[in-house]
Amino acid sequence: MKFEHEKTNEILKWFEEIASIPRCSKHEEKICKWLLDWAEEHNFEIKKDKVNNILIKIPGSEGYENSKTVVIQGHMDIVCEKEPDSDHDFTKDPIKMVYDGEWLTADKTTLGADDGIAIAIGLVLALDKDNPHPPLELLFTVDEETGLTGANALEPGFIDGKILINIDSEDEGVFTVGCAGGINTNSFLPIDYEDVPYGFKQFKIKAGGMKGGHSGIDIGIGKANAIKILARVLYEIKKKTYIRISDIKGGSAHNAIPRDTEAIVFILEKDFNEVQNIISDFNKILIDEYKLVDPNIKISIEDNGKGNCKQALTVGNSQKLIEFIFAIPHGVAAMSNDVGGLIETSNNLANIKIEDNTVKVLTSQRSSVMTRLYAITYVIEAIARLAGGEAKSGDGYPAWHPNMDSPLLARSVKLYEKLFNKKPVVEIIHAGLECGIIGDKYPGMDMISIGPDLRYPHSPEEKVHVGTIGKIWDFTVALLKELK
């Protein structure tokens, strides 16, 4: 498609090429090589560090050669989510673009505008001859989505700039100046299997149809978490009849709210009708609870007699597993006392699976107050220990504390109002941005985060508003022109 804003067309051209390259988190080798080849083809100086972070140096325009270097920053990796009926293979298939008026989305998969749009804008800035700018450093990091690994691996001297524009925010007209810190926790619950007694029949119970979304940006909307929903159903069944769990799996990335979860269970054949009634009644409850935010939510049960499962967890282990999942918190834990409307602390119950006679659960905690981040992490760890398991938490990443006296912010606010005749919103977000780590590693860095309108990241519903891409371009080139 062609759009009126010419630079938008150029940005989308590069974005579509980027979207054809596999780049799931921790598998950025191909996009890294593509960027190296691109920089070499256009005779730009390029640096690559030990984890494959890329830095492309762009000389300043005439008259700007001695201006302070500005870092344009984004990440290479994407969250790879797809609909259950999609046959897309993220290791080799290009993402299929779908234009719907002013919105660009993908065919049953994540789009990867988070954060492929940042890369595309950076490349167009590098090639642009019409707008003057200071020396630029295009910093593209790896593995942002699963732990900000690339930003954490940055070493002193890798970048020279002291002004940074991060293009990883999701609302045009909003300047992000702070974000939450985060910690991931892996919990391990040992389990025992035994042969299933006579009279039990094997079934599969599914919790699906949920929208999912970003575990930071969307956590306050109240969307359903498929793992928690399934835990509620299993708990209701456990109260009224015997149930033996054989397998359970659901969720994907630590920063995606789970959309689908399923369990292989054994139920007494004589109790099947009662279980069906429990699920039918619970579906009505869920429709009422989530009618505004997750209207397609559904619990189903089907005969799984052809499955290979001949064993199940012991009765005690099955009950313990259900109560363990049921006890783990999900959602908003606290609102900020300092900033009205800001979610301060939350947890995402992100993933569950059984491997090697162990239930493995991944949770992702966030908070803009580091002491409360540690506190909710200790809660998760304590629940695991009380259930007879153990928990291991990562080092996490720091919150980005806002600098409301930032010269870059003051200039940006004034310029935005001049360009678009309205004041921008200045906000702190309940999500992780690499700015927190970069600012910690490079003291004195003056930073701001911007981006086009992006909806439902980390889910197959992800979409970007094309018209706002041009506005981000216009603002960025105008700001760079002022940074002489």
Cβ proximity of 260 and 84 under 8 Å? yes
Q: Tokens in use for 36?
A: 């190296």
For the question of residue 6 being annotated catalytic, the response is: no
pLDDT at 197: 86
Q: In which band, very low, low, confident or very high, does the pLDDT at 484 lie, cut at 50, 70 and 90?
A: confident
26 sits in the region (left: phi over 0; alpha: psi -120 to 50; else beta) called: left
Q: In which band, very low, low, confident or very high, does the pLDDT at 306 lie, cut at 50, 70 and 90?
A: low
d(CA 377, CA 221): 22
Q: In which band, very low, low, confident or very high, does the pLDDT at 432 lie, cut at 50, 70 and 90?
A: confident
Report whether CATH 3.40.1390.10 matches the domain 6-180+399-482: no
The answer, yes or no, to whether residue 16 has pLDDT greater than 90, is yes
Class of residue 122 by CB neighbours under 10 A (exposed 0-12, middle 13-18, buried 19+): buried
Out of 24-28, 365-369, 396-400, pick the least confident.
396-400
Q: Tokens in use for 443?
A: 């003291």
Topology, domain 183-393: Alpha-Beta Plaits (3.30.70)
What does the pLDDT average to over 396-405? Answer: 91
Q: What percent of the chain has pLDDT over 70?
A: 99
What does the pLDDT average to over 47-53? Answer: 97
Alpha carbon distances (Å) from 21 to 33, 41, 56 = 10, 18, 19
Cβ proximity of 352 and 361 under 8 Å? yes
Q: Which one of 28, 114, 137, 144 is the catalytic residue?
A: 144
Q: What percent of the chain has pLDDT over 90?
A: 90
For the question of residue 77 being annotated catalytic, the response is: yes
pTM exceeds 0.85 for this model:
no
pLDDT in tens, 369-386: 999 999 999 999 999 999
Map out the domains of the chain as residue ranges: 6-180+399-482, 183-393
pLDDT at 25: 96
